Structure 1
Amino acid sequence: MAPEHAADQPPVRLIASDLDGTVLGCDFRFRPRTVAAITAARDAGIHVVFVTGRPMRWLDPLHEQLDDVGVVICSNGAVIYDPGAERVLEASLFDVSEALPVMADVAREFPDSLFAAETLERVYTDHGWSRTDRMEIRHITEAPVRESLAPGTEVVKLLAKLDGADPNRYFEHVREIVAGRLSVTHSVAAAPLVEMGQRGLTKARTLEHFAAEHGISHREVMAFGDMPNDLEMLTWAERGYAMADGHPHVVATVGRTAPAFAEDGVAQVIEAYLEHEHTAPVAREGRHV
């Protein structure tokens, strides 16, 4: 799988990858070939940063499987986190006063909606917000969210869900209700779950800021993802790859694809790039691998 290159295209200096469905499977495990490819990229002097919708508390699978996790961009770009130091480097938050009217409007249209709000210190969930293996909770307040958030609380992410609803229809309706007051996205195809962050926030916005701090332009970035919350990142990066088994809209919009997760898609692309860099001048890659 040798990519094509253009002579004027700079080499990759940063690889940005989503986690779930891209390099992590349903068991939250990396495939060995992926770990080897990430290690090889870092050994070649390429920055590797994970850009995920997961909050900080869901990064344990990285610690368990990687010697060097590096800095992680979490919560759809809201938090830049150093897991090794357990330190928040930057955070893009919004005031509870922006969240409350959004929750009221969504609840007015969909009375059975449940809400959760993540802050840097705690998680607030309505009664009935189901727990999963992903959502192991240590610091949680389970009570009506609209009553639990104190004035002045700064929110990382607001979530709304409506059990039994069609995921795409619920997402589109909530996006219309929010009407640009917050950023709106979703990352779980089969779940009627909507994720909201600071107005204008995307993975791409934070990644661009992170890259610029390292003197890296979008033309020097390779990115991987599979869901709508990855879309801006994949179209911003010069070499953005949608996973072949990802969300159909993302695959169609990005155009350039990596093989499916089960086929070690990310590893295949990285391996091909590294091999080509050692055997030929850099040139423009085609739209598909």
Structure 2
Amino acid sequence: MIKLIASDLDGTLIGHDFKFRPRTLAALKSVQDAGVQVVLVTGRPHRWLEAVVEQMDGYNSYAICSNGAVTYHLGRAEVVATHTMSGRDVLRVHELLEQEFPDARFTAETLDTAYLQNAEDTPAQPGGPLENIELVYGPLGEVLPADAQVVKYLMFSGAYQPETLLKKVRDIAGERVSVTHAVPGNPLIEMSLHGMNKGSVLAEFARERGITPDEVVAFGDMPNDTEMLRWAGRGYAMASGAPALIESVERVCPGFDEDGVAQKIEKLLGLSEGFNDIQR
């Protein structure tokens, strides 16, 4: 029996316009009406979700945000759990990366403040990840408090291809922080608490509710979805997603432009009234 559907947002449920396609919205509503919990699992910050979730009629559930660092209840607009790094630990990693990438842009983000280095020309954009948060500009070693609770530490370097940059950063910092990549074609590397990722937090979320991996279906399209899709009993990489993810995950569903998530949910609903299985 399927009790939980967990899904990434960008490139999986929504497009570049941040909109759901009608077929996907209908499928999500049907599965919720049938009593199956839907949880959004995204690299995006929780404050960015309001405009997305208002498209989902009656959604009153959780989102696992910032690659697992923040669990947020959308109906109550409440942060219910965090997995953060101390500013002190971030600065130790930052010292190593700054030596290797002195011209890169760095951001350390807490729940209410973003500290930005080499990014003075990066104002908040409407609807963007820096909207509705205090911005502090300057070298992280000078502006980031040692006791700050950092949910995500990011580095951008246009001098590298994303895959190359990801490998270099993992080689330098992978023993200290979790390192991943979430935006197609964008050399933006995202770092968080070591050992923490979408999959580990989803597993914790499910365990607290008595839900086992074989009762979970998950969808994603980028490397930061890898652990989630591997943990879920049925984890599907989008055919339109990153090749590295597709290669590492057993199952693939049709791409975003084909309403791939909706197709799988429709098959789940059509197989049996009791949700005993999902078509492979």
TM-score interval w.r.t. the shorter chain? over 0.9
Q: 1:216 aligns with which of 183, 188, 211?
A: 211
In structure 2, give the amino acid aligned to 1:56. Answer: H
Structure 2 CA distance for aligned equivalents of residues 215 and 224 of structure 1:
21
SS at match of 1:28: coil
Aligned equivalent of 1:125: 116
Aligned equivalent of 1:26: 16
SS at match of 1:200: coil
Structure 2 CA distance for aligned equivalents of residues 261 and 201 of structure 1:
27
Q: CA deviation at 1:230?
A: 0.2
Instruction: Please list, as runs of the form range in 1=range in 2, the aligned pairs for 1:3-14 lying within 5 A after superposition.
Output: 11-14=1-4
- Residue 46, structure 1, aligned to residue 60, structure 2: no
Q: Which runs of 4+ in 1 moved over 3 A?
A: 129-133, 280-286
Structure 2 CA distance for aligned equivalents of residues 164 and 58 of structure 1:
28
- TM-score when scaled to structure 2? 0.93
Aligned equivalent of 1:192: 187
Structure 1 CA distance for aligned equivalents of residues 263 and 275 of structure 2:
19
SS at match of 1:272: helix
- Residue 16, structure 1, aligned to residue 11, structure 2: no
Q: CA deviation at 1:212?
A: 1.1
SS at match of 2:265: helix
Cα distance change on mapping 1:84 and 1:283 into 2, 3 Å: closer
Q: % of aligned pairs identical? A: 44
Gap regions ≥5 residues in structure 2: none
Instruction: Please list, as runs of the form range in 1=range in 2, the aligned pairs for 1:1-289 lying within 5 A after superposition.
Output: 11-66=1-56, 67-128=58-119, 130-131=122-123, 134-138=128-132, 139-278=134-273, 282=276, 285-286=279-280
Query: 1:22-43, CA deviations, whole angstroms, 9 ceiling, x for partnerless residues?
Result: 0010000001111110110011
Contact 1:62 1:69 survives alignment (8 Å) = no
Structure 1 CA distance for aligned equivalents of residues 141 and 198 of structure 2:
27
- TM-score when scaled to structure 1? 0.91
Q: CA deviation at 1:68?
A: 1.0
Structure 1, 54-63 or 128-137: larger mean CA deviation: 128-137
SS at match of 1:21: coil
Contact 1:95 1:154 survives alignment (8 Å) = yes
Backbone CA RMSD of aligned residues? 1.6
Contact 2:264 2:279 survives alignment (8 Å) = no
Structure 2 CA distance for aligned equivalents of residues 269 and 244 of structure 1:
13
SS at match of 1:208: helix
Query: 1:162-181, CA deviations, whole angstroms, 9 ceiling, x for partnerless residues?
Result: 12321111111011100310
Q: CA deviation at 1:142?
A: 2.0
Contact 2:268 2:278 survives alignment (8 Å) = no
In structure 2, give the amino acid aligned to 1:181. Answer: R
Query: 1:235-258, CA deviations, whole angstroms, 9 ceiling, x for partnerless residues?
Result: 110110000010001111113111
Cα distance change on mapping 1:69 and 1:143 into 2, 3 Å: farther
Structure 1 CA distance for aligned equivalents of residues 158 and 269 of structure 2:
45
Gap regions ≥5 residues in structure 1: 1-10
Q: CA deviation at 1:285?
A: 4.4
In structure 1, give the amino acid aligned to 2:276. Answer: V
SS at match of 1:65: coil
Contact 1:227 1:246 survives alignment (8 Å) = yes
